[in-house]
Amino acid sequence: STATTKTSTSGDPLPSWNDGAVKKSITDYVTDVTKEGSADFIPVRDRIATFDNDGTLWSEQPIYFELFYALDEVKAMAPKHPDWKTKQPFKAVLENNMGEMMKQGQKGLLQIFAITHSGMTTDQFDSTVSRWADTAKHPIKKKRYKDLVFQPMLELVKYLQANQFKVFIVSGGEIDFMRAWAEDVYGIPKNQIVGSSIKSKYEYNNGKPFIIKTPELDFIDDKEGKPVGIMKYIGRRPVFAAGNSDGDLQMLQWAASNKFKNFEIYVHHTDSVREWAYDRKSHIGTLDKGLDEAIAKKWAIADMKNDWKVIYPSGK
């Protein structure tokens, strides 16, 4: 890279982080590995940082926000599908009957996922998700989902970028769903957003090419899939990895195996007042084995309640 951007030496790069061991470990690490002549210096092209999304960059309770999208879309599509009024799992969605929806299990969820994520062009999907992200609000927080991102993590992403780290999202979420809004919200280019994917196919009709999203599964970017996705999309190990659940453990292990000095961090949801508090026994974002390994290996653990001055960006 020929970029010559330098971190501003004046001012705190992480103003929403309380002073303490975690914040200091981050800035010590970045300072150490970016200083010319440091024994731990990392060449720019090896400064790869990977961030999980759900629960790491934005909230994920009471259900993954992408599932909120799918439920909203089923409702938006319903007028064109009158049979859904009597057909599960759609009936339950249209009646806001969460209990009945859960009874439909994995199979029901996959049907909802397929109908809302496939059968359209990539352009159509992108504009539908963008429109949703610009307007839809979280039922409990009463804010737009895209405003329920973690201010301290936005600062961390920016701080790393200012120090010439190339920051990637490596998430279990569907890749095109994230790309529709995350580039603007996080300042991470679309091609640096990695996720789970379904297959798509190229079609060419009357001189017009388009790409259709099919319901066929392509890749699951979770657990063992995360290091695999990293090698597939990035081609080198990260030196910095951030996650919040057992689904990120393999990604953190992969970063920890880097020959360069590396940094692993878990976001620990400990704030039942400002966000949510959950870990070992949560149905979403379970952090159990990962927490044990983080403690054993002295990885950083960001305690939301104690390490973060604010959770969400102010004024939104």
Only segment of 29-37, 109-117, 244-252, 265-273 that touches Ca ion (CB under 5 A): 244-252
Residue 50 neighbours by CB under 8 Å, 6+ apart? 167, 168, 169, 170, 194, 226, 230, 234, 238, 240, 241, 242, 251, 255
What region, left, alpha or beta, does residue 141 occupy, with left being phi > 0 and alpha being psi -120 to 50 degrees?
Answer: alpha
| Chosen residue from 111, 122, 130, 282 binding its own copies by CB under 8 A | 122
Q: Which of the choices its own copies, Ca ion, none does residue 244 contact, using the CB cut-off of 5 to 8 A by kind?
A: Ca ion
> Would you state the structure tokens that stand for residue 247, as one six-digit string?
């689904």
Only segment of 91-99, 103-111, 127-135, 186-194 that touches its own copies (CB under 8 A): 186-194
Query: Which CB atom, from 28 or from 216, has the smaller least distance to its own copies?
Result: 216
Task: Please name the helix (run of DSSP H) or strand (run of DSSP E) that holds residue 209, with its range, or none.
Answer: strand 208-219
Q: Is 279 in the site for Ca ion (CB under 5 A)?
A: no
Query: Which CB atom, from 185 or from 234, has the smaller least distance to its own copies?
Result: 234
Q: Is 282 in the site for its own copies (CB under 8 A)?
A: no
Q: Is 189 in the site for its own copies (CB under 8 A)?
A: yes
| Chosen residue from 10, 79, 106, 202 binding its own copies by CB under 8 A | 202
Quickly list H helices, the chain. 21-34, 65-77, 90-94, 98-103, 105-117, 122-135, 151-162, 175-179, 182-186, 225-233, 249-256, 289-296, 304-307
Q: Is 171 in the site for its own copies (CB under 8 A)?
A: no
| Chosen residue from 211, 217, 295, 310 binding its own copies by CB under 8 A | 211
Report the interface residues with Ca ion, using CB under 5 A.
Answer: 52, 54-55, 244-245
